[in-house]
Structure 1
Amino acid sequence: MQQTAVLELNNLRKTIKGKEIVKGVNLTLYPSQIFGFLGPNGAGKTTTIRMIVGLIKPTEGSVTICGYSVAHDFVKALSNVGCIIESPDMYKYLTGMENLLQFAAMDKKISRQRIKDVVEMVGLQHRVNDKVNTYSLGMRQRLGIAQAIIARPKLLILDEPTNGLDPAGITEFRNLIRKLAYEEGMTVFVSSHLLLEIQQMCDVVSIIKQGTVIKTANVQEIIHNDRIEWQLNNPEKAITLLSEHWHVDAIQLKKNTISADIKEHPLDKINGFLIREGLALTYCSTKQNTLEDLFLDLTEGDEIV
């Protein structure tokens, strides 16, 4: 049976002051997916997220959450969403618990037990009764995450959620996200500049550059492909031969070095083939691919923020 989409973006576009910031983004997310949204600074990530949650209107296209249009059924659509965009918003003169109680008062289905459970999930049980103005950035981030998940949203949207967390806190956060997705069925949409963390946490990633999604891929497929580098006397000829005779992805030439992903590569056969074709092979190495490799290849080294 086909799953019902939790989030659908259809030809989403946004033009600001005559400049198209987001250019026809299409995306579909399903229950229990952990999705990473990556891109260089100014690529359109935050603008896309703001359109998803209705903070700004698209110039063209649509956003649908759990079957409800954000444009036409805003309240119903957003009732399925928990989010943190930029820094969490809270009352600093109240305690963490008082903040959660204020938020929970808007939804009678949220019980005191749920509040207690969420506090323990995010690791704030020893500080939840202290005032927020005494919290570190990491603790405020934990409280924001607690607030975002307290109503058991079907879609959780997090923009740079690990800001202020130390390495142990980041590991705890990763485990929490997996628990929410795989045990509670929540769909999680994460935008972050920490590529290794996204690689370790997410099932699927999309990379956006200059407002256009240039790649959507399964994370396991990315890291299970080995990346091969060659140095040869005629790299242009080698690229043509590799492209014509082997299944190659992300093939690139930098100076005299070719790099490529080759699925299920019999490396000895490839090298023998290149030599028989008259190429002089001076260097060859293999390493496990990473999300960072893919990102830098596709964005040509643009800074991610």
Structure 2
Amino acid sequence: MSSLLEVKEITKRYKNGRGVQDVSFDVAKGDIYGFIGPNGAGKTTLLKIITGLIRPDHGSIRLFGHNITDRFEQAMERVGCIIETADAYDYMSSYDNLKLSARFYPDLPKNRIDQVLEQVGLAPYKKERVGGYSLGMKQRLALASALLSNPQLVILDEPTNGLDIEGMVDVRHTIQQLAHEQGITFLISSHMIHDLSMIVNRIGIMNHGSIIRVGNVDELLTGGLTLEQYVISQLQTSKEADAYA
């Protein structure tokens, strides 16, 4: 399977000592890749680097074979993403918010906005002002925005944040359906291990700015371990190693 995303030895250090250190991993075509770690592990920083929002101190990133430093527009052309919280105009409807975004994609089918709103469960509320939406509904609108351009790779940072149980199930179902029926590849960052365990086929575990384990879920989970148990054990091992360092 070919890699759509290649991250090589990415390092970014801030003055407070936080950041990411020598991170390398790849996401293959067809993956639902779970990027897991506790709050503050560096997940969002890394996703911002991958999408060009932050420049790394050193290292390289290639998307669809293009280096994001040299050919940013070509690299991001087939990527949709949510990093932290997507902004929307509260005084406008979800439909009109997406209509604004659609101006950047002149070749979109006329019914594309209705399609993505249906996929995320917002179709009945598409004419309501976003200011009246719950946090979970705003998260669904953000997901619709990430899907609008028919991307081949979707990068999601905490996509189920603020959703109730029904909303979480709906988002998981949407991701699985898009991956299996349309061949969309996903990189999903989250600290909600149980939620990710139901959909991912590969994982990368991050702690204190470093990747401590990567691999196929089926190969990593032996002896009846759940993904949650495995991740916790790896984080504990990392903590003990840091204590002895």
- Which deviations, in whole Å up to 9, do the C-alpha atoms of 1:18-55 show, x marking residues without a partner? 73621111111111210011112222111111100011
Counterpart mapping for 1:10-89 below 5 A: 10-17=8-15, 19=17, 21-89=19-87
Q: For 1:60 and 1:13, how far apart are their aligned partners in 2?
A: 6
Letter matched to residue 216 of structure 1: V
Deviation at 1:135?
0.6
Deviation at 1:302?
9.2
Deviation at 1:160?
0.6
Among 96, 121, 124, which residue is 2:94 paired with?
96
Which region of structure 1 is more displaced relative to structure 2, 142-151 or 72-81? 72-81
Contact 1:13 1:20 in 2 (8 A): no
Corresponding residue for residue 143 of structure 2: 145
Corresponding residue for residue 212 of structure 2: 214
SS at match of 1:37: strand
Corresponding residue for residue 234 of structure 2: 298
* TM-score, normalised via structure 1 length: 0.75
SS at match of 2:123: coil
Counterpart mapping for 1:1-305 below 5 A: 3-17=1-15, 19=17, 21-223=19-221, 225-226=222-223, 288-300=224-236
- Which deviations, in whole Å up to 9, do the C-alpha atoms of 1:90-124 show, x marking residues without a partner? 11111110011111111111122221111111011
SS at match of 1:300: helix
Letter matched to residue 38 of structure 1: I
Deviation at 1:217?
2.2
Q: What is the aligned-residue identity percentage?
A: 38
Q: Determine which structure has more spread, i.e. the larger CA radius of gyration.
A: 1
SS at match of 2:8: strand
Q: For 2:122 and 2:155, how far apart are their aligned partners in 1?
A: 21
Q: For 2:111 and 2:86, how far apart are their aligned partners in 1?
A: 23
Contact 2:39 2:191 in 1 (8 A): no
Contact 2:120 2:144 in 1 (8 A): yes
The structure 1 segments of at least 4 consecutive aligned residues displaced by more than 6 Å after TM superposition are none
SS at match of 2:90: coil
What is the number of residues matched between the two proteins?
A: 239
Letter matched to residue 300 of structure 1: Q
SS at match of 2:146: helix
Contact 2:212 2:238 in 1 (8 A): no
Deviation at 1:301?
8.7
Structure 2 residue ranges without an equivalent (≥5): 240-245
Contact 1:40 1:302 in 2 (8 A): no
* TM-score, normalised via structure 2 length: 0.92
Letter matched to residue 231 of structure 2: F
Q: For 1:213 and 1:73, how far apart are their aligned partners in 2?
A: 26
Q: In angstroms, what is the RMSD of aligned CA positions?
A: 1.7
Contact 1:4 1:66 in 2 (8 A): no
Letter matched to residue 5 of structure 1: S
Deviation at 1:222?
3.6
